[in-house]
Amino acid sequence: MSNQTTVTEFLLLGFFDVRELQILHFVIFLAAYLAALMRNLLIITIATLNYKLHSPMFFFLINLSLQDLGTISVTVPKSMSNSLLNIRSISYSGCVIQVFCLICFFGANLSLLTVMAYDRYVAICKPLHYEIIMNRKACIQMAASAWIAGVMYSAVHTGNTFSLPFCHSNIINQFFCEVPQLLKLSCSDTYRRELAALAFSVFLVLGCFAFIVVSYVQIFTAVWRIPSEQGHQKAFSTCIPHLTVVSLLLSTAIIAYTKPISDNLSPLDLLAAVLYSVVPPLMNPVIYSMRNREIQAALKKLLQKLIRSKNSMSMFLS
């Protein structure tokens, strides 16, 4: 029997070994994290405070922003602290939590985007029945189902990964705990487990993707039947941001998890990890706010209130 040691911590690889570049990495990630935090909290605040935005679409958008906040908060702060403190370690339990939360938010995100596609389908293809079908109870149940699907999906992957013994090494060739990198460290045969995890992932992703495609085929068919140009623009203004967010999530995840696992960390590996763990939470609020006139109007109104209150406070103090 080969000697096996119990792994109590893992060592994450940083972006740089030079101290000045580590500080630069910290500053860049801090800026990205604060930008994502501010943008997603702004979407949540606007959609919550403005009663005109109390609709199913914005209810789901609030949940999407919460998931984006969770996704970027799982990986980026730990990476920033490692660069700032010039350390590499993450505890075994911390790695388990990181893997579970990251996969949970990804699965919930994909499930919620599927629900949002159905919401757009009902709104455009069955407008007269929209309020009946997408009532408050149904929206809460759909959002809860998306979160539950994420938890179940994550539980399978996390349990499948950490039930394996790790003895080859405790060095993870990534700046956070990533499942493919962890499977590479196992001293047992992981082929069947990898195949089972891949099959489950393909089933979930293809199932959601197929539902979204079918929904949008019917949506675009219905849109072209709308006689007015204004109707076309209104329909596309709500559909295009959602399609863009779906494309961004799936493309970055596919790039990250279909690339070959290399023994040494390469710029492509880091770029792929950043693409699916940092870019979507950072860009999703921008995509929705740029194309959605209701969000733009609500944001403008909120800024005007803040400016007026600031001017009133200045006059009072003077």
Highest mean pLDDT range out of 48-62, 240-254, 265-279?
48-62
- Count how many domains the chain has: 1
Averaging pLDDT over each range in 119-128, 173-182, 276-285, which range is the top one?
119-128
Residue 42 domain flag: yes
Domain that holds residue 281: 9-310
Q: Is residue 44 part of a domain?
A: yes
- pLDDT band of 148, cuts 50, 70, 90: very high
Q: Is residue 2 part of a domain?
A: no
Beta bridge partners of 10: 90
35-40 contacts, C-beta under 8 A, 24 or more apart = 35/282, 36/68, 36/69, 36/72, 36/278, 36/281, 36/282, 36/285, 37/69, 37/72, 39/282, 39/285, 39/286, 39/289, 40/65, 40/66, 40/68, 40/69, 40/281, 40/284, 40/285
4 occurs within a structural domain? no
Contact 223, 124 (CB under 8 A): yes
Mean pLDDT of the chain: 82
CA–CA separation, 10 vs 184, rounded Å?
13
Q: What is the pLDDT of residues 55-92, one digit of tens each?
A: 898 899 999 999 999 999 999 999 999 888 888 889 99
Asked whether residue 290 is domain-assigned, the answer is: yes
316 occurs within a structural domain: no
Residue written as token pair 């893992």: 10
**CATH number of the structural domain spanning residue 171:** 1.20.1070.10
**Domain contains 66:** yes
* pLDDT at residue 262, as a whole number: 58
Q: Is residue 26 part of a domain?
A: yes
